[in-house]
Amino acid sequence: MNTVGIIYISRDLMRKLSLPAQSEVRVRVGNLVINSKLVIQDLKKKSYMLSPSLARALYIKKRKRMKLRYDQRENIIHLGPTIGILSTFLPNRGEYDPLSMHAELIFLSNISKTLAGQTYVFTPGSINWSNNTARGYVYKQLTPDRGVWIANVYPLPDVVYDRIPSRSSEARSLIRNTKNRLCQLPYLKYFNPSFLNKWKVYQLLINDPSLHPYMPETRVLTAENLKDLLAKYNIIFLKPANGSLGKGIIKIKRDEKGTLHYVTSGRRKIRSSADSVAELMKKTRDYRGNRAYIAQQGILLASYKGSPFDLRIVYQKNALGVWQTSKSFVRVAPRGSSVSNLASGGRVEKTKHVLKYLYKKSTVVEEKNLQIKRLCQRVAETLEKASQDNYGELGLDIGLDKNGSPWLIEVNSKPRKTTESEVSQVIVKNTFRRPLEYSAYLAGF
């Protein structure tokens, strides 16, 4: 077998890795494997060097940032981690909105430079399947508020962090085919593979009896199902099964006479009423369109200074692959609304301030935080096990009812993470850093 270049490894590192003596060895970066000559030398303790020809063949840009591990089963020296952030496009604008996906990608690219290995953003169109490489992009900051994306060729990665920005993009055949091909690569791990469907999530989670007390009763929207739910609950929410950002929601409230009063979400609210389920379904048909909907039991949420609220938990795996809360904040609904999503006009408050305002005693607040933490962990573990998909982060919307009991309102597999926040900038950075640290863990580093 032809060899390319030389990898030099110190004796100390060879002993640490339990690397057997051999004249040739396969060297892997991401999903690119090169057969190389192996030379053991008296280098600095636990160090290695690559010949220029081997570094070029592996498309390594900065060798000093690459860690080394030995895969005994495959007899491969693995340099990495190589992390690919999959998106659909890279707008090469000088200025950007700090709340946009573009800002998220820039933030991820900048933070990755403080970590070991190499991280790049790539798109389906930038992949060269014939040689297992991709044209990847790394952000170069020119001034504090301007920069450009620099393109280079990289091996296809060890790990793909899916940041496809929308359900419509995800549904395109190019995106679906790209994901399928990536997942078939022998050395590639993939996490957060898709947006979640509310009905499918409910079906997965409701099979865990321990979650029953925390889940509002939910059904596929049909006239018969809605009639059954309204016989049990005075308030019902209709939600698009594939919706997000609080869009397309209809709140229904049944009064003492059986009249169904409803209001739609969004800045231009539609308020009306219906005398029957059949009439309501007919009157809301245009608003719902052809989208699949669920009907969900309405929870009488606790209020903060007169407005209902919920908690958004950014729940992520860390560098050890362990779930933890990276960020928690309260979303308070605008006056007169039941929808707290920020895109629908909600505002942010600090969790500790709201819980202290409601429960006063620190022991009660600690108990609420512990309940929420346990619920998040159970939901994340159950979802992964039941779906057989790999998730590195979730956005969990938790409501507290007027008795203080927590309810799981929604699970989001693609939580948006703003680069600006009223909370600590350390917390903001950690929410971007953790998926990259988890990627390194998945890669074996």
Handedness of CA 213, 214, 219, 221 (dihedral sign): positive
Q: Are 292 and 199 in contact (CB under 8 A)?
A: yes
pLDDT for the residue 254: 95
Domain segments of the chain as ranges = 6-80, 82-191, 195-214+300-419, 217-298
pLDDT for the residue 427: 86
Q: What is the 3-state secondary structure (H, E, C) of 146-211?
A: EEEEEEEEEECCCEEEECCCCHHHHCCHHHHHHHHHHHCCCCCEEECCCCCCHHHHHHHHCCCHHH
Two tokens, residue 330: 């309260």
Q: Phi and psi dihedrals of 396, rounded to 5? A: -110, 125
pLDDT for the residue 92: 63
Report, as ranges of residue numbers, the positions in the chain whose pLDDT lies below 50.
Answer: none
Domain 6-80 listed as CATH 2.40.160: no
Give me the sheet containing 67-71, strands edge to edge: 48-50, 6-10, 32-41, 24-29, 76-80, 67-71
Nearest-CA neighbor of 87 among 429, 432, 414, 343? 414
Class of 195-214+300-419 in CATH: alpha beta
pLDDT for the residue 406: 96
Distances (CA, A) of 194 to 161, 249, 390, 391, 397: 11, 22, 10, 10, 18
pLDDT for the residue 344: 52
Nearest-CA neighbor of 314 among 327, 304, 323? 327
Please tell me the pTM assigned to this model. 0.92
Q: Are 307 and 335 in contact (CB under 8 A)?
A: yes
Q: Are 69 and 29 in contact (CB under 8 A)?
A: no
Nearest-CA neighbor of 157 among 179, 129, 189? 189
Two tokens, residue 160: 């793909």
pLDDT digits (tens, 9 = 90+) for 232-249: 999 999 999 998 777 899
pLDDT for the residue 351: 93
pLDDT digits (tens, 9 = 90+) for 113-160: 999 999 999 999 999 999 999 999 999 988 887 889 999 999 999 999
pLDDT for the residue 266: 72
Class of 217-298 in CATH: alpha beta
pLDDT for the residue 90: 78
Which CATH number, 3.40.50, 3.30.450, 3.30.70, 3.30.365, labels domain 82-191? 3.40.50
